[in-house]
């Protein structure tokens, strides 16, 4: 399979009266990253495999039209204002109730259908290896309070790290939880399922959920459960759809409690066939592990293959689901004048 970056001309259109573009970053080690200002999202990440062949390791499309019309709306995107689920699409802040869109059963998922993923962000490309995206969400947008200024930067280093930095300020108290929703396939985009990826998540606790995928508590021990990835394990060895938790989610769609510092990987995945390894670092208290259970084949990716269940995996660094309604979790409240800051790194290498 020969991989190449999408044609920037295929990313030129207008959406919500703003022009869309493709931006390409590259480093001295042969790694390339393509992004679009539609959703401030990752389109392609090309790294060499163990044969030295350039390999695209994220799911996505080769034109803007497919993103606009996709069934899978969140491929590679910046997610906000609130990543993951808020139960019953409501929360209270200082005694006032805020009602959100119910776009996931009775829940609000990823900020609603009108979220950051469907916005064209302003962009500033100052260097060959860095791009900054900016977006202002108006007070009441998606049902959330406060005018919110958001800044997301992507920086590609010569160590094959893609560094993502988030900053935000609000003019009134609000809730905020940002993440990136890249789907990875380290065999190469379009090269089958990810169930034979090796994964390590050095966490002793995962968050069990109810039938609506809302947390039941603040964490249960992974020991003697199929959620134990403390030692490197094939996903297929832990996939157990007879397990009540996995049965509801149709696979893995669960948050883990991060116990390592931001200098250690909170998740690692690798492909034995390509040799490509991904390490994820973050300042966030949780990583949400998702195995693409709801990719149902409606979308066709860059390699011309349909995206079916388990053809991509996600490590979404974030705060916990439903935190606005569960004060026992770390706070997601952002006060007026306070600056939100978060960092995540995707580091690629060849497994030795």
User: How far, rounded to the nearest angstrom, does the alpha carbon of residue 110 sit from its chain's CA centroid?
Assistant: 10
**Residue 52, pLDDT score:** 96
For residue 147, is it within any domain? Answer: yes
Q: 151, 181, 197, 254: which one is catalytic?
A: 181
Token look-up 């390409």 returns 24
316 is catalytic: yes
Residue 159 labeled ligand binder: no
For residue 136, is it within any domain? Answer: yes
For residue 301, is it within any domain? Answer: yes
**Residue 126, pLDDT score:** 80
List of residues 6+ apart from 325 with CB closer than 8 A: 86, 87, 90, 91, 92
Helix (H) or strand (E) holding 66: helix 64-69
Residue 166 labeled ligand binder: no
Overall domain count for the chain: 1
Token look-up 């970056």 returns 5
Q: Which letter does DSSP use for residue 305 in this model?
A: -
**Residue 352, pLDDT score:** 81
pLDDT digits (tens), the chain, 352 positions: 889 999 999 999 999 999 999 999 999 999 999 999 999 999 999 999 999 999 999 999 999 999 999 999 999 999 999 999 999 999 999 999 999 999 999 999 999 999 999 999 999 998 899 999 999 999 999 999 999 999 999 999 999 999 999 999 999 999 999 999 999 999 999 999 999 999 999 999 999 999 999 999 999 999 999 999 999 999 999 999 999 999 999 999 999 999 999 899 999 999 999 999 999 999 999 999 999 999 999 999 999 999 999 999 999 999 999 999 999 999 999 999 999 999 999 999 999 8
Q: Which letter does DSSP use for residue 308 in this model?
A: -
For residue 36, is it within any domain? Answer: yes
Residue 165 labeled ligand binder: no
Q: For the domain that residue 76 is a member of, what is the CATH number?
A: 2.70.98.10
Q: Which letter does DSSP use for residue 341 in this model?
A: E
**Residue 60, pLDDT score:** 99
CB-CB contact of 226 with 243 (8 Å)? yes
Residue 110 labeled ligand binder: no
For residue 235, is it within any domain? Answer: yes
Domain region containing 62: 8-350
Spatial CA neighbour of 160 closest among 184, 186, 129: 129
Name the pTM for this structure.
Answer: 0.98
For 166, the token pair is: 């988030």
For residue 312, is it within any domain? Answer: yes
For residue 2, is it within any domain? Answer: no
Centre a 10 Å sphere on the Cβ of residue 137 and count the other Cβ atoms it contains: 24
Residue 182 labeled ligand binder: yes
Residues facing 104 on adjacent strands: 107
181 is catalytic: yes
Spatial CA neighbour of 232 closest among 190, 282, 271: 271
Q: 141, 189, 284, 316: which one is catalytic?
A: 316
Residue 253 labeled ligand binder: yes
Instruction: Report residue 141: phi and psi, to 5°.
Output: -65, 125
For residue 180, is it within any domain? Answer: yes
């Amino acid at each position: 399979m020969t991989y190449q970056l999408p044609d920037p001309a295929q990313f030129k259109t207008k959406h919500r009266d703003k022009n869309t573009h493709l931006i390409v970053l590259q480093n001295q080690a042969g790694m390339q990253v393509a992004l679009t200002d539609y959703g401030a999202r990752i389109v392609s990440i090309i790294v060499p495999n163990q044969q030295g062949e350039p390999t695209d390791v994220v799911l996505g499309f080769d034109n803007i039209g497919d993103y606009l019309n996709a069934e899978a709306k969140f491929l590679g995107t910046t997610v906000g204002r609130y990543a993951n689920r808020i139960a019953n699409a409501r929360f209270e802040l200082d005694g006032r109730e805020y009602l959100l869109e119910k776009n996931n059963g009775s829940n609000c998922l990823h900020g609603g259908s009108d979220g950051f993923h469907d916005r064209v962000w302003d962009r500033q490309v100052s260097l060959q290896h860095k791009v900054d995206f900016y977006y202002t969400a108006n007070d009441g947008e998606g049902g959330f309070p406060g005018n919110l200024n958001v800044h997301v930067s992507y920086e590609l280093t010569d160590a094959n790290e893609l560094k993502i930095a988030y900053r935000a300020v609000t003019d009134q108290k609000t809730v905020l939880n940002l993440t990136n929703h890249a789907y990875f396939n380290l065999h190469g985009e379009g090269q089958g399922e990810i169930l034979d990826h090796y994964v390590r998540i050095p966490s002793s606790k995962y968050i069990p959920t109810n039938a609506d995928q809302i947390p039941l508590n603040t964490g249960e021990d992974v020991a003697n459960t199929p959620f134990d990835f403390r030692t490197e394990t094939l996903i297929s060895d832990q996939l157990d759809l007879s397990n009540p938790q996995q049965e509801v989610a149709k696979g893995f769609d669960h948050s883990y409690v991060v116990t390592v510092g931001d200098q250690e990987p909170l998740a690692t995945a690798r492909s034995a066939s390509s040799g490509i390894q991904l390490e994820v670092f973050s300042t966030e208290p949780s990583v949400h592990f998702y195995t693409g259970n709801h990719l149902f084949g409606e979308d066709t990716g860059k390699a011309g293959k349909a995206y079916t269940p388990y053809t991509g995996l996600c490590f979404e660094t974030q705060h916990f689901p439903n935190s606005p309604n569960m004060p026992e979790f770390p706070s997601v409240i952002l006060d007026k004048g306070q600056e939100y800051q978060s960092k995540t790194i995707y580091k690629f290498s060849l497994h030795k």
